[in-house]
Structure 1
Amino acid sequence: MLLVVDVLSFATTVDVTTAAGAHVLPLPYRDDRAGDAASAAGAVLAGDRGGGGYSLSPTSLVSAPAGTLVGLPSPNGATLCSEAAGLGAVVFTGCLRNAAAVAAAAGSAAHNGPVGVIAAGERHTDGSPRFAAEDLLGAGAIISALPVPASARSVEANLAARAYETSDDPARNVRECVSGRELAEWGYRADVELALARNASSTAPRLHAGVFSHH
């Protein structure tokens, strides 16, 4: 059982898309195979932010028509979800918007088995990994809501949970972290604000046959 957390923005985008009754096919980022995979699945391939169509921007998919299958590439969340599914894992994706719902659904599906929570992180412009404060907080929010006592959690899980629980203002922390500031500077402040609506969603996106749908 794996929960992939990518607050800005893959998991938030999957949340709003599946809440609208649409579905998401996670795809590798900047990979020629993504287009072929989307075509083979009958999916609408999301483009770059600002292109006018569907994209990794959650605001572009809030009103996606029910039943639409969106092929959504992303360098972190989508890639991790695809790889985890390829290993046969049960995969959910979560964010601040649906932390409680995802924790409840995953806790039930785990049947008292282990649950791994992956903070997807970000990437520098050269492609190297970058720590993402928003994903630490998102992971902490989900871990805090899982029906697992602190004594049964790993040190890393407890540290993430404490980071969330002791944050004086998680929304401000996300707005002012590197990823939040970048999106705002690029003109996507609305995406950040959408991601900050803690537990506003009851959607728990689960991967079935390579596609995320509302669980």
Structure 2
Amino acid sequence: MGASVVEQRGFPVRFGWGAEDLAVLTPVSDAVVIVDVLSFTSAVSVAVGRGARVWPYRFRDASAAAFAASLGVQLAAPRTAASSPGRWTISPAGLAEIPAGTRFVLPSPNGSALSAAAAVHPSVTVVAGCLRNAAAVGGWLAGLVTANAANAGRTVAVIAAGERWPDAAGRPHAGPLRPAIEDLLGAGAVLARTVERAALSPRRHLSPEARAALAAFRAAAEADPTCDAAVGETCSADAHAVSVDAASSSGGAGLLADLRESVSGRELAAGGWGADVVAAADLDADDVVPVLTDGAYDRLPEWTTN
């Protein structure tokens, strides 16, 4: 398969899945947005939005502790430890009270690993995106795409992290990609905000892959989770005509329902972390663009959607 095909050439806004598409799209992009809704990039959005600085790390093992020690920063505890002052985890809900100035390493096999992989391309801006900061990240991307509108070359890519199956030896997170619906929706939210802010034509500016993610988000954001007209239920006249802005202001009931019913959402709820699913579904809650700078996610200076 030719490079022009897999790189989705001809479209300034592109979309892909996991490490495989990241490896293809990052070298031909000005910026890459990594989306890992449950839970890495949601945790980064919450923490950075409150003034913390977050170092991604691929593995949770002895090397993570050594890495944190080399930086003189904290190592995030496992989610099972529960966040508490001075003891933070990947839990987005638990990070709500993190003090400004906190610095910590946050291991994750998906979003964190992709962040590290993208960071080897110093000319590419790497951003953490999710449902919580979709408006901020989409607004920033809109400015970048508009500035590069006359440039037929390098552009932007949104990467849904997904999950990894175990490999043949049973090692977790080492096997093939498992697409995750929450990451598709988070990527679609960022794309929707980019389209809105830059007044883009999805047909002309978004690759078919990106348009599919956009459509998935819009369907979830506009849905009434209490009504299923497809099976003959009677819905109100407005049930399927909710604007994306209305979905944002109402907390996105359709998004929350889909995240709760997803494989990852059910897994978290079963472990007692349902609050993290609710926090991750809070559309446009954080006005922050976390940019990977010198190995850590930090707030893009002087950025606001207003």
TM-score grouping bracket, smaller chain normalisation:
over 0.9
Question: Is the partner of 1:166 in helix, strand or coil?
Answer: helix
Alpha-carbon displacement from aligned partner over 1:130-183 (angstroms, at most 9, x marks no partner): 110000000001111112421111110000001111222222111100000110
Aligned counterpart for 2:192 among listed residues 144, 160, 176: 144
Quote how far apart the aligned CAs of 1:31 are.
4.2
Which residue number in structure 1 is paired with residue 139 of structure 2?
104
Please tell me whether residue 175 in structure 1 is matched to residue 231 in structure 2. no
Q: 1:18–1:214: 8 Å Cα contact kept in structure 2?
A: yes
Q: Max radius of gyration: which structure?
A: 2
The equivalent of 2:98 in structure 1 is: 64
Segments of structure 1 that go 5 or more residues without pairing to the other structure are: none
* 2:159 alignment partner, one of 86, 96, 118: 118
**Which residue number in structure 1 is paired with residue 65 of structure 2?**
35
Deviation track 1:2-30 (CA, whole Å, cap 9, x = no partner) reads: 00000000011001101111110011123
Alpha-carbon distance in structure 1 between the residues aligned to 2:95 and 2:192: 28
Distance 1:109 1:152 in 2: 13
- Distance in 2 between the 1:4 and 1:34 partners? 21
CA deviations 1:178-213 (Å, max 9, x no partner) are 000110010000101011110111111111111111
Q: 5 Å matches for 1:1-215?
A: 1-52=31-82, 53-88=87-122, 89-109=124-144, 111-112=147-148, 114-124=155-165, 126-127=172-173, 128=175, 129-146=177-194, 147=198, 148-150=200-202, 151-167=204-220, 168=223, 169-215=254-300
Question: Any idea what SS the aligned residue of 1:11 has?
Answer: helix
Tell me how many residue pairs correspond in the alignment: 215
Mapped contact 1:72–1:78 kept (Cα < 8 A)? yes
Q: 1:96 to 1:40 in 2, by over 3 A?
A: same
Structure 2: distance between partners of 1:116 and 1:211: 20
Point out the more displaced range, 105-114 or 155-164.
105-114
Could you tell me which amino acid in structure 2 is paired with residue 75 of structure 1?
Answer: P
What is the root-mean-square deviation in Å for CA atoms of aligned residues?
A: 1.5
Q: How far does residue 33 in structure 1 lie from its aligned partner after superposition?
A: 2.6
Q: Give the fraction of aligned pairs with identical amino acids, expressed as a percent.
A: 41
Residue 115 of structure 1: SS of its match in structure 2?
A: strand
For residues 38 and 88 of structure 2, the distance between their equivalents in structure 1, rounded to whole angstroms, comes to: 16
Instruction: Point out 4+ residue stretches in structure 1 off by more than 4 angstroms.
Output: none
Kindly indicate whether the alpha-carbon contact (under 8 Å) linking 2:76 and 2:107 is maintained by their aligned counterparts in 1. Answer: yes
Are the equivalent residues in 1 in contact too, given 2:33–2:128 (CA < 8 A)? yes
Amino acid at match of 2:184: L
Distance in 1 separating the partners of 2:184 and 2:111: 14
User: Which shifted more, 11-20 or 106-115?
Assistant: 106-115
Matched residue type, 2:96: V
Higher RCO, 1 vs 2 (CA within 8 Å, ≥6 residues apart): 1
Q: Hey, what's the Cα distance between the residues in 2 that align with 1:175 and 1:101?
A: 24
The equivalent of 2:241 in structure 1 is: none
**Which 10-residue stretch deviates more, 143-152 or 153-162?**
143-152
TM-score, normalised by the number of residues in structure 2? 0.67
